[in-house]
Structure 1
């Protein structure tokens, strides 16, 4: 009898836990805010409101400039992939995101340090906490205190707005659509910090966190919340089970359309945009947003085209399935057949091999928007084989030992069996591979890489 009662109680508690909705905790994290402040003071960051305020202050002296330089040297960025998942379907673990998560979830730097041991070296952790402690009064004097009244009022208003608009319901909608899951005992932490003299807000999500710098004169919160849910949907996407991820990957790869690979590469951002900037915005505002939903052309247009399909699935509480994927690919193929050749669409998802490292900087400058990138500095059998394991756009720039390297490339790609080339001449060559990714070969002799890429762009239009 005791066993039965305990079993019943346990089942009841389990049912109650899973019936609960995810708790969205909205807060200000001083520790995170100071960390972001220091990041923005780096020489590696472009001009920004934090840097402007610091540079004209009394703190712009050697002591603090040296601390900023030391911060830049800290080794905080490590990652590991979830190897069992289909390539690109799950975001790698990023150590710097874990550090930010712990800054949000702890109340003081000592707790942060204890929580974060093992993520980076102890010396790095000690140096980081000392620098944050040094800059905390600087940040408060220059940024937080002058904006405190406005910002704290915003936090109250945002919290109220979240409650009134039932933000957790959109989270649940995402869970159903993505066929994903979330343990409701884990809260979703939303950390804001003030962004004075700014024309817009920032947005980033990771694990169970969303962080955003908000302009202190922000009027209305519908844009903020649609973007916040957009970022949250990325997290739900990454939390899909291995089984769901594998099934989605299989459905894309078995689809016969030559457009399926590049439609797949857009999927994560397109769905988050259609859900967040389309569905959430329309439900909050009462009418659809007629502006661009995303700053990148291809994501914006595709997100708008699939919106009726998204609405259909949400209204029927259906999860993403093979039929959705097939219809999604058809929408891509019918409406945007030229995208498969446009470099602005191909290059955000790129794997580049070049023996001249400066080529990578040229490509980064030419194609600033990037989602997934890999770079190799040697043209060898092993680097080509590594490249072939991904479905990214494959760009190989040959500038040394041209004949030998071109013959190696031809040998490694079966699609090049009948390819004829003259290694003494400069040329661009592009072919759609069996995995439906584009292979681009640039044979460089005298022209600059920038010139050859510009020529390639002209040829592919």
Structure 2
């Protein structure tokens, strides 16, 4: 208890945000152990946590069983905000609430009291017991060997934040996105050590930001540009229903055939232009000449819209219809081919199939997923549900082909004069009136991979 109290005193730092809202920086042992356990799962790729555990004395049947059982606990539920335009507001994930409660409570009893209700009580109890079992293991293998370096890093991060008045960039984001924030609600920022690593991870949700910090971190401007990038996602998500409805209308009223896929890309493109472009440039004194994001479409679009974004920031103007129209124009003028590139449009996909293996095959082909939905039946009801979204629509027909093709022709007016042979394999891509792509694969003997190669 004494050790935990000292850690809390050392790491709890409050940064003034616009003289009202605050950022609270802390180390959360509970969150760190949760992340540690997640990374030990056999479903996770090789990582420093798994390496340290596997060579330790704790790599026994007892603890491997706990890891396996922990991995099977279902803490992954979600609920949408249906009154908002489709895709404009993030679906709430209970995993985020679990992490939020781990950060914001002082012990597992408080955590369970706050979390009961949206996680089944038995699952919650098993979850907490696993955290208890692995807390001393985590401390021995990860935290204690890196404690001195990690504490120094957090001190330097806090100092850097104060010296560069990082809070100003939050206010800039609020104005640009035409968003708002209740200043009585602080941001809770939780760091945890990531030894023997050249990079770091970051995530933002609710009123939280979490990040692993390499113990030999050299560039604080990198950390804060990523931190602001993730924070801008929250600010975008917290736009009012009226603002989001207006933005959705601006995109739908725009005549460009690229408007839908420009819309799909906007959240990441804006956060990258602001965080990795504008914030990084201000902190470093010059714009980063390298890639701002490791995905081609996000990186190139962020750089393309950077002058437009900075012009609005300099003029202290919120994004408006004129901004949206210019944004779409930049997309269409510079990247008109993107609406036909599978690596782009398959990032936002809705898949209907009657074969579960098709989903796995698509995931292997197109690993990056920004927003996805899937169902395992092709019916009038499932098609109508799909049509309500602006995602790329993928329908894989492998049973009762003639009947299913007839159903598609009746449901999609764009297929009214569609001439295809149900007895022959084909892969068709059609741009629908809602400016989303419809991909229909008629499968007989070929694999999903082979059929996708047929798409022109």
TM-score, normalised by the number of residues in structure 2 = 0.95
CA distance in 2 between counterparts of 1:430 and 1:39 reads: 39
Name the counterpart of 2:194. Answer: 195
Name the counterpart of 1:168. Answer: 167
Name the counterpart of 1:447. Answer: 446
Q: Superposition RMSD on alpha carbons, in Å?
A: 1.1
Q: After superposition, what is the alpha-carbon deviation per residue over 1:233-269, rounded to whole angstroms, capped at 9, x for unaligned? A: 0000000000000000000000011110000000100
Q: After superposition, what is the alpha-carbon deviation per residue over 1:7-54, rounded to whole angstroms, capped at 9, x for unaligned? A: xxxxxxxxxx99634211111111100000000011111111101100
Instruction: Report if aligned partners of 1:22, 1:168 keep a CA contact under 8 Å in 2.
Output: no
Name the counterpart of 1:393. Answer: 392
Instruction: Report if aligned partners of 1:193, 1:212 keep a CA contact under 8 Å in 2.
Output: yes
Name the counterpart of 2:85. Answer: 86
> How far 1:453 sits from its partner (Å)?
1.1
CA distance in 1 between counterparts of 2:278 and 2:417 reads: 49
CA distance in 1 between counterparts of 2:375 and 2:130 reads: 35
* SS of equivalent to 1:326: helix
Number of equivalences: 441
Instruction: Report if aligned partners of 1:21, 1:168 keep a CA contact under 8 Å in 2.
Output: no
Unaligned runs of 5+ in 1: 1-16
Please list, as runs of the form range in 1=range in 2, the aligned pairs for 1:208-227 lying within 5 A after superposition.
Answer: 208-227=207-226
Q: After superposition, what is the alpha-carbon deviation per residue over 1:133-191, rounded to whole angstroms, capped at 9, x for unaligned? A: 11000000000000011000000000111111111110010000000000111111111
Name the counterpart of 2:104. Answer: 105
Name the counterpart of 2:44. Answer: 45
Instruction: Report if aligned partners of 1:411, 1:417 keep a CA contact under 8 Å in 2.
Output: yes
Name the counterpart of 1:60. Answer: 59
**CA 1:291–1:94: 2 relative to 1, 3 Å:** same
> How far 1:455 sits from its partner (Å)?
2.5
Instruction: Report if aligned partners of 1:79, 1:92 keep a CA contact under 8 Å in 2.
Output: yes
Q: After superposition, what is the alpha-carbon deviation per residue over 1:76-106, rounded to whole angstroms, capped at 9, x for unaligned? A: 0111000000001001111111010011111
* SS of equivalent to 1:368: coil
**CA 1:288–1:18: 2 relative to 1, 3 Å:** closer
Unaligned runs of 5+ in 2: 1-15
TM-score, normalised by the number of residues in structure 1 = 0.94
> How far 1:122 sits from its partner (Å)?
1.3
Query: Does residue 283 of structure 1 match 2:279?
Result: no
User: Which range moved further: 113-122 or 345-354?
Assistant: 113-122
Name the counterpart of 2:435. Answer: 436
Please list, as runs of the form range in 1=range in 2, the aligned pairs for 1:130-141 lying within 5 A after superposition.
Answer: 130-141=129-140
> How far 1:454 sits from its partner (Å)?
2.2
Q: After superposition, what is the alpha-carbon deviation per residue over 1:308-363, rounded to whole angstroms, capped at 9, x for unaligned? A: 00000000110010000000000000000111110011000000111111010111
Please list, as runs of the form range in 1=range in 2, the aligned pairs for 1:306-321 lying within 5 A after superposition.
Answer: 306-321=305-320
